[in-house]
Each structure stands twice: as C-alpha cells, then as structure tokens.
Structure 1
Amino acid sequence: MTTATTLWTRLARLRAAATGRPRTTTPPPPVEAVPTVINLVADPGFRGPLDRPFEAGGVHVHAHNSCEITEIPGRPGVTGVRVEGTGRTNDTFIAPGGYQAPGAMRLGMRAGSTYTASVSIFLLAPLTGALHATALRLVPGCVAGRHTLEPSPPARNEYGHHRISVTFTVPAEATSAWISLHSGMARGGGLVHWYDFALTETAAPVDHFDGATPDDLFHTYEWTGEPNASPSRRTLRVSGDATPAAIAAEAVRQAWAGAAGEVRHLRRHLAGDRLATARIALAEGQEAAEALRGIVAAGDPDGSAAYELGRLALAERDWETAEKLLREAVAKQPEAYERGYALASAYDRLKRREDSKRVAAAALEHDTKLPFDGPAVLDLDVRFFGARRDLGVFLAEHLDQIRTQASQRLAAPTSSTFDQPIFIYWAQGFASAPPVVQACLAALKAHNPGVHELSDANVSAYVDVPSDLRDRLDRARFSDLLRMLLLEKFGGVWVEASCYVSEPLRPHIDAALAQGGAFAFNYTGPFISNWFLAARPDSYLLHLWRAAALLWWELRGELIDDFLHHHIFEMLHHLDDRFRTEWAQCRRINAKPPHALQGVMFEPYEPDMFQTIREGAFAHKLRYRYPDSQLRSESYLARIIRGDLP
C-alpha cells in the first residue's frame, strides 16, 4: 500500500468517525453457484413398489390396467414398467409418485414453479383398437380452480423407442399436482413399456440421468439420498481431461438446449476463445457474424470462422458469399469433409456442376466410413450431395426400426371400400384456391370418378397426422407427408393441385401398377418427381418411404434441403434391397414430357402443339404462382382456366 493510499484511507476513516456515519465498503460480487439439475423422480427406473405411491418411488396404477416391472427390450440393464389394458375402457394410465389427492403436491412439485417432464416409451408393435385421446402422452394435472395443464405431444404409435416431454407451470394457487403416463389402450390393444422418467425444474428437457449415471467430462451424478429411492443431482464439473475443443462443443450443445447457467460457467474456461464465443452466440440465436468476420480478418488459422460464416451465407441464400468463404475454409482444412460438402452445395446453387462434383469427390476421400457407396451416389447426381449423404447415414443407422415399422403396417392393412381413390389437396379449401387450381380440379373430376378433395378441415377423416408435425411443418412439407400417409393406407393416386389431367387416369394407373407396387415420374434411376404418385396399398416401397420420413421428423426434425422427401426415396433405394427390387419392377415414364405444358403455359395457344403435348403425357404439372401481368387471354393457361380446351 502506498503512502498516498494509506493517507486517504485514514482520512476517510476519520471523516466517517467525525460525522457518525459508518464506513461503507463495496461488497465483492457474489459467486455464482455451480449449476445443478435435480431429477425429482425418486426412481426413474420404476423399481419401487407398484400401487403404493406414498412410498419412495411408488407408482399409482389405475384400475383399468396392469403394471409390471421389467427389463426394457433392447436396453440391457434398464428397468421400467410394462403396462397392459385389463378392461374394456381405454382410460389406462399410471402415476409415478401418486395421483390426485387433496393437498398432495406429488414428486416434490411446488405451486408457481415451472417443470419439464420427460419419459421414454417402447412399443413392440403399434397399439390397436380405439385409443384414448391422451394415449402415449405425459399428462400433468393440478387442482387450481379452472386451470388445466396441456399434455405432451403423443409418442409415435409405431414400433421402437420414443422420447416425449412436456414443459408446464404449476399455477400459483394450485393445491395439488401430479403427472400421469397415459397408455390409452383397452384390453388386447397392445403393450406399452415406460422407462427413464425425469422431472426437472427447467424450462426445457435435459439429457436423462439419475444417481447411477457414470460421471463424464462435464458432469457428476449422485443420489440425494438412498439409491434408486431418492431424487438425483447432476452437477456441472469440467474434468481436467476436457480439451478446449471439447469444452467449446459442450458449451454450444448446452446453448442449443437453453441451459444458460451451464453456458456461463463453461465460458469461463474459454476466455479469449473468440471462435467458441461466436459459436455459442449463434446457438443462442444471437448476432455473431461481426465477431466471425473479425476472426477471418485476423487470419482465421484453421478456417473455422470462414466455415461458420459460409454456413450462415448458405442459410441466407447468398451463394456467392458462401462460395468464397467455404472455399477458403476448405483450403485451410481439406480433411474436414463437411466443409467440402457445404462448398459443393454452394456450387450447386450457382449451377457450377463440375466444381460441385470435384469438391464433393475430394471430400469423399476423407469420408471413409459411409454405409453406402458414396462415389456411386455422387456419380448418379452431383446435386445436394451433402444432404443426401446425411440422410443416408441416418437411414442406415435406423434401418432396422424403419423396416420393422413398415412390415408391421403391411401385415395389418386398413379395411376400405375405396377403389383406386384419387387424392387432391388444398390446405385452405378449394373454394379459396387460385383460378388455375380450381380449373385443374374441375378437369380432373370431369374425367375421373372417386376424386377426394382434401383440405385441412377434413384431413383427419382420412389419416392420423402426428399433432406435433401438423403444428411444425410448413405446407409444402406437410403435403409431402400427407401424400405418403394416404397412399400407404388406401393406395390410389396423389395428384398435386396444380396438375392438369384431361383424360381418365384408370387405364394409365392400371398399366403403371401392373408389375410394381408404385409409380412416380422419374428422371433417372431413383430420382423422381413427387407431384403425381400412385401405389397399391400393399406397396413395401410406400410403407418404407413413409416410415423413414416420419422417423426423420421425429428424431432429427430439421429440413436440411427443400428436396428432403425426394432424397429419402433415393437413399432408401441405395440401402434396401427389397425397396430397390420393387422400384426396378415399376413402370418408368420420364418426368420431362409432363412438364412441357408448364414451359409454354403463357404462350399463345396452338392446337397442334397442344395435341403433341397431350400425347406426350397423361398428366401435366403447371404453376399456380405467377405475376398477373403474364396471363394473356389466348394463352394455354387462360384456356385451361376458362375450360376452353378440347
């Protein structure tokens, strides 16, 4: 301490003493506690007593179902419960920790707090019979005046393991609260396995854990009391074995999960790491481009900042900027094959096909563990290789589950009186559709019986679309899914609303399905158009395609390319022998002639040309989006709209 500092300190003390005011000091900033998460479920493995909910880990078992402790199929060493309906009613459920009772706040819940409940479900086969409205859901409940709590989205009623969760707030005036796990089937309707139940005071799901979970690089796990009979605690702890890269990756992962407290603590281990800070900001939905540009300007030794900026440019459809940045990123780390695929995508968008193939082939040399023939896939088509590659890896990893789901549904066909139904869909209803769509519908119905006009108002009368997908998918992706659900269930024909058909379809569809189980206009091999599809209800191809698409949306839930639906078809063709055999038996009609009318739709009508176009295809894909200024009264399109064609 210097003499001046000592003098001023003494003067301050004397002044405080003279005035009678106590000397004040600035307290040190509080030290933030190490983040912990508590799983309030005393026994996530359901090992405790059944139907004795007041004991630790006890489970209330509703009278309409049985409940047995069992090892979960496909999960060695993991215990859970197997629930089966025992009566005619489908109101079947269990409630870990107890059900509704006056004044009972089950599982340690408190009024006014927010929680996330999560649980895993395994189905040996789809449940059958009439299912309860809450089947395969987590259903939180409370007694608090008129308050109701929303249940979780349902698990898929398909073979396999599924994870569901729901976030809810117990009302401040609640006097009791509980959570029930609803199976929702009556006697003979199947079995449901429940396991890995968690309840955390968080606003989003966390990775499942209990006190027996082995410690890892970033967390320790412990029971708060007796093992398998008390809540468990997860505590953040950065192991000395964790590398800076691993810490940065964990921080980004937690940022995506919304775990702000963990991110703050992990950031302390990344002081000065500008790239990690920028990546965390991106995961948190914050602006980070300026920071990344600063790293690039400072040299960006391994090209990581350029890669992140290039991906942002791809998302913003700024193809030229993306190409420049990604080319720089690849040059600095050519062995990082994901960079090469991203650069190939930029070249695709710039229509530089040779460059796209060149960089994708170079990336493939470092991507050596693919479950399919990567060079063969690239040789078939250079476009969107990165997206197709990712889909292929995912489908290969889950192919057994996809095959089982398809086979089980094939073995239980729907009883229907439909005879080659024709499905056409406009979300808002055809009364509000554009003129060209209404004209296409009129032409289709004039020449074909059995046309089913679908809209959002009546889709549920035909197929059961998972509620979470109805809420989450845009109309194009929803339509992609809908056509598969319809054709897999009923067979028949899907005609997109902007498809012009001016003749009976039956002869063409009968011929198309004479040998194979499905039909689609195609370009080459498994590259198809999906605006016109036909199938028999026993088509393995359609069943596998549907199962794969649903599983992608369940587990990955992201649109990695606008042609996702087409890419799933192609990669199943590469991975599944039976799918490939059925497609080989299907009739081939090139997709280019059905697009000929679209190419001239704004040009003046010529009878001979129109006859040539009609002879080239039995269905014609048009566009319903166009500037009004393009439409002329004597164009092909104008005549289609007013119904003035032979």
Structure 2
Amino acid sequence: MKEFKKIFKKVNGIEILKQYCMAHVILFSLLETAILGLSRKSLEIVRLAVDNRIYCKLKKKYKGFISEYQQKEDTKNVLHEHSDIVWVCWFQGMEHAPKMVQYCFESLKSNLRDKRIILITEDNYKEYVQFPEYILEKYEKGCFSKTHLSDLLRLELLIKYGGTWIDATVWCSSPIYPDYLFDADFFMFQNLKPGLDGQCTAVSSWFITSCSNNQMLMLERALLYEYWKENTKLVHYYLFHMFFQMVIEAYPDEWNKVVPFSNATPHILLLRLFEEYDEAIANAVKEMTSFHKLTYKFEESDTTIKNTFYQVLFGVQE
C-alpha cells in the first residue's frame, strides 16, 4: 500500500481518476486493479488496459469522421515545402523557464547552427498561427492546459510552415546527427516492437519534422478540432497520440515511409539523470542519439547530489 501511495502521488492519480470518470472507464479500471493487485507492474498493466479501452471508444466514435474526411480530402495543388526552422515553445518566455529548459534551449542554439530556431511564447504565438475562435475560448476558460495548447500549436506551425518541432525539454548533445531527422518529408520517434506490444499508441510527439501541409498532420488537426467542438475537458492526457494512431491506420502507406527510430533510446539519459555519472555510459548514449528527452519536473534536492549525470553533463558541480 505504501508503494501504491507513492506511485499514485507521482503520477497525479487524482487527475487520472477524473479522466477515467469522464471516459466512463472508472469501473473497468477498479475491476482490473482488484484482479491484478496494487504492485507497480500490476498498475502498469491496468494503465495499458484502460488506455486501450479509451482508445477503442475514441476510434469507434471518430471512425465515421475519418472516413468522411478522406472522401472530401483534396490533395491536388497542395504545396509541400521543407523548412530549416526549428520551433521551440515556452509560453512564459525563456527568461522565466526552469534551468533544465534553459540548458536544453542553449544546447539547440549551440548544436543546430544551420537552423533557424524560433521560440514561441504566449506573447508571440498569434503572430505565427491562428486558432479557431472556439479553441481559444476553451483554452481561456481553462478547458485545457498550455500543454495541450502546445499540441495544437505544433500542428498549426508545421502544417503552415513546415520545419521541426522540438519540445523545450529536449537536450542536444552533438551537432552530428542523421540528416533525415530534419530533412525527411516526415519524421517522429516511435514505439517499436517488441516494446510496442501492448501499447495502443506508436509515436512520441516531442520531436516532429514535417514539410508543410502534411497529410497525416492535417487529419490529426481535424480530429482534435472536431473533438473540441463537442467537449470541454480532455478525456486523456495523450489524446494527441491516440488520434495519431488512427491517423497511422488511415494512411498506412505514408506512415511506412517514416524512418523507424525507437523512442526508448532518447529517454535513456532521463532515467539515469540523478545516478552517479559514468563516462563510458554517457559517451555510449550520446553515440546512440544526439537528442535526449528530459524533464524539468524533479526535486530541487536531486540537483545537489554530487557527481550525477545531471551535474556533470550540465556543468553544475559545486
């Protein structure tokens, strides 16, 4: 029970239960928990089962919308342009960002010198994109957070301009990386088999490269906008990912063109951030990938632990 309470607090369990109630899967989740127990592994299996149930409900609801959208879709005379822009967003402005976000932003500027890095904030995002009025109204009423607004923002920016969206918590460790990460018509990091087994979603949205007017992103945007026409709350934190799984199934040929790159590799450093630094491991991880998905959500006391990956890699040793 002690471990359960710790996990419940860490994952913001109250908010998850609210989402389960909204999705009408709370009884299902309680039944699964009663059967499987409260261990960490059991709770992970419950989460996967509930996520899949929510996904199936959404897929059934929006199946007709996707079919109708594809019938009306006009792909003729649509421009698909590449861009060297890297889009990064921190709504409060970089001067008010956590140190980790600032470290990550500086790493992009240092290592992506041939790219135009544009920082999007609360003050300037309307200079680049326009959202439907009902989207802005629901955002201003608190129906969804800045996190979800950034999901919509990356779609609008990439559809209109093309380029690469990189989350503000992505650290770039080297100027050497595969060309396709930025030059491909489309790229996202993916869940790959066997890790994909049991998962209802296959993508990560923290790094997206796209030419303008990408077919898959346009359907993703249409699905999210249709959702917000009818709803005032987010049914699942990873709604973007669930809808994108439907997009993959709608455009399998387009998705098969995407270079497969596991999203597990860029998370290795995150999982060791406050462990004792090991130079051999650090070098090996940086050879595997130049982009590392990190987080700013950790205890301040963790940053004072001596000789960790965090302290060494970010030069904050006292």
Please, what TM-score do these two structures have when normalized by structure 2? Answer: 0.77
What's the CA shift for 1:586? 0.6
User: What's the Cα RMSD here?
Assistant: 3.2
1:447 and 1:504 in contact (8 A); partners too:
yes
Find the counterpart in structure 1 of residue 243 from structure 2: 568
Asked if 1:345 is matched to 2:20, the reply is no
Tell me how far apart the structure 2 counterparts of residues 595 and 530 of structure 1 sit (CA, whole Å): 13
Tell me how far apart the structure 2 counterparts of residues 541 and 599 of structure 1 sit (CA, whole Å): 31
Tell me how far apart the structure 2 counterparts of residues 625 and 617 of structure 1 sit (CA, whole Å): 22
Structure 2 CA distance for partners of 1:543 and 1:404, relative to 1, 3 Å: farther
Structure 2 CA distance for partners of 1:643 and 1:493, relative to 1, 3 Å: farther
Tell me how far apart the structure 1 counterparts of residues 79 and 72 of structure 2 sit (CA, whole Å): 13
Letter in 1 for 2:235: I
Tell me how far apart the structure 2 counterparts of residues 618 and 547 of structure 1 sit (CA, whole Å): 32
Tell me how far apart the structure 2 counterparts of residues 541 and 431 of structure 1 sit (CA, whole Å): 34
The answer for unaligned runs of 5 or more in structure 1 is: 1-313, 327-337, 358-380
Tell me how far apart the structure 2 counterparts of residues 533 and 393 of structure 1 sit (CA, whole Å): 27
Find the counterpart in structure 1 of residue 3 from structure 2: none
Asked if 1:450 is matched to 2:125, the reply is no
Find the counterpart in structure 2 of residue 548 from structure 1: 223
Equivalent positions of 1:3-82 (< 5 A) are none
1:402 and 1:551 in contact (8 A); partners too:
no
1:435 and 1:641 in contact (8 A); partners too:
no
Letter in 2 for 1:622: L
Find the counterpart in structure 2 of residue 486 from structure 1: 157
For 2:191, what is the secondary structure of its paired residue?
strand
Find the counterpart in structure 2 of residue 436 from structure 1: 100
2:83 and 2:211 in contact (8 A); partners too:
no
1:402 and 1:548 in contact (8 A); partners too:
no
Q: Determine which of 298, 307, 311 is the counterpart of 1:634.
A: 307
Equivalent positions of 1:367-406 (< 5 A) are 382-403=49-70
For 1:530, what is the secondary structure of its paired residue?
strand
Asked if 1:528 is matched to 2:218, the reply is no
Equivalent positions of 1:6-405 (< 5 A) are 341-346=25-30, 347=32, 351-352=41-42, 356=46, 382-403=49-70
Tell me how far apart the structure 2 counterparts of residues 431 and 354 of structure 1 sit (CA, whole Å): 37
Letter in 1 for 2:178: H
Letter in 2 for 1:610: A
What's the CA shift for 1:565? 0.8
Asked if 1:464 is matched to 2:139, the reply is no
Letter in 2 for 1:457: D
Tell me how far apart the structure 1 counterparts of residues 45 and 289 of structure 2 sit (CA, whole Å): 35
Tell me how far apart the structure 2 counterparts of residues 354 and 445 of structure 1 sit (CA, whole Å): 37
Structure 2 CA distance for partners of 1:489 and 1:580, relative to 1, 3 Å: same
Tell me how far apart the structure 1 counterparts of residues 275 and 302 of structure 2 sit (CA, whole Å): 9
What's the CA shift for 1:605? 2.4
Richer in strand (by share): 1
Letter in 1 for 2:300: D
1:521 and 1:591 in contact (8 A); partners too:
yes
What's the CA shift for 1:550? 1.5
What's the CA shift for 1:527? 1.1
For 1:482, what is the secondary structure of its paired residue?
helix
1:518 and 1:541 in contact (8 A); partners too:
no
2:158 and 2:212 in contact (8 A); partners too:
yes
- Deviations, residues 557-599 of structure 1 (Å, cap 9, x unaligned): 431111111100112333x1xx221111111111111100001
Q: Determine which of 160, 168, 174 is the counterpart of 1:503.
A: 174
Tell me how far apart the structure 2 counterparts of residues 426 and 470 of structure 1 sit (CA, whole Å): 16
Structure 2 CA distance for partners of 1:591 and 1:413, relative to 1, 3 Å: same
Tell me how far apart the structure 2 counterparts of residues 355 and 618 of structure 1 sit (CA, whole Å): 31
State the percentage of identical aligned residues: 23
Structure 2 CA distance for partners of 1:354 and 1:316, relative to 1, 3 Å: closer
Structure 2 CA distance for partners of 1:589 and 1:355, relative to 1, 3 Å: closer
Tell me how far apart the structure 2 counterparts of residues 468 and 461 of structure 1 sit (CA, whole Å): 18
Q: Give the structure, 1 or 2, with the largest relative contact order (CA under 8 Å, sep 6 or more).
A: 2
Letter in 2 for 1:456: E
2:216 and 2:248 in contact (8 A); partners too:
no
Find the counterpart in structure 1 of residue 186 from structure 2: 518
What's the CA shift for 1:512? 7.0
Tell me how far apart the structure 2 counterparts of residues 604 and 528 of structure 1 sit (CA, whole Å): 30
Structure 2 CA distance for partners of 1:354 and 1:531, relative to 1, 3 Å: closer
Aligned length: 282
1:518 and 1:542 in contact (8 A); partners too:
no
For 1:384, what is the secondary structure of its paired residue?
helix
Tell me how far apart the structure 2 counterparts of residues 530 and 587 of structure 1 sit (CA, whole Å): 15
Structure 2 CA distance for partners of 1:477 and 1:594, relative to 1, 3 Å: same
Tell me how far apart the structure 1 counterparts of residues 281 and 109 of structure 2 sit (CA, whole Å): 24
Tell me how far apart the structure 1 counterparts of residues 101 and 181 of structure 2 sit (CA, whole Å): 27
Structure 2 CA distance for partners of 1:611 and 1:431, relative to 1, 3 Å: same
Letter in 1 for 2:128: Y
The answer for unaligned runs of 5 or more in structure 2 is: 1-12
- Deviations, residues 477-505 of structure 1 (Å, cap 9, x unaligned): 11111111111112211111111012237
Q: Determine which of 597, 609, 629 is the counterpart of 2:281.
A: 609
Tell me how far apart the structure 2 counterparts of residues 617 and 583 of structure 1 sit (CA, whole Å): 22
What's the CA shift for 1:555? 2.5
Letter in 1 for 2:212: P
For 1:437, what is the secondary structure of its paired residue?
helix
Richer in helix (by share): 2
1:391 and 1:571 in contact (8 A); partners too:
no
Letter in 1 for 2:270: Q
- Deviations, residues 184-243 of structure 1 (Å, cap 9, x unaligned): xxxxxxxxxxxxxxxxxxxxxxxxxxxxxxxxxxxxxxxxxxxxxxxxxxxxxxxxxxxx
What's the CA shift for 1:445? 0.4
Structure 2 CA distance for partners of 1:477 and 1:318, relative to 1, 3 Å: closer
- Deviations, residues 514-545 of structure 1 (Å, cap 9, x unaligned): 4xx32111113651111111112242111111
Letter in 2 for 1:422: V
For 1:452, what is the secondary structure of its paired residue?
strand
Tell me how far apart the structure 1 counterparts of residues 84 and 273 of structure 2 sit (CA, whole Å): 30
Letter in 1 for 2:42: R
What's the CA shift for 1:510? 2.6
Tell me how far apart the structure 2 counterparts of residues 395 and 420 of structure 1 sit (CA, whole Å): 34
Tell me how far apart the structure 2 counterparts of residues 640 and 523 of structure 1 sit (CA, whole Å): 27
Structure 2 CA distance for partners of 1:465 and 1:405, relative to 1, 3 Å: farther
Find the counterpart in structure 2 of residue 177 from structure 1: none
What's the CA shift for 1:548? 1.3
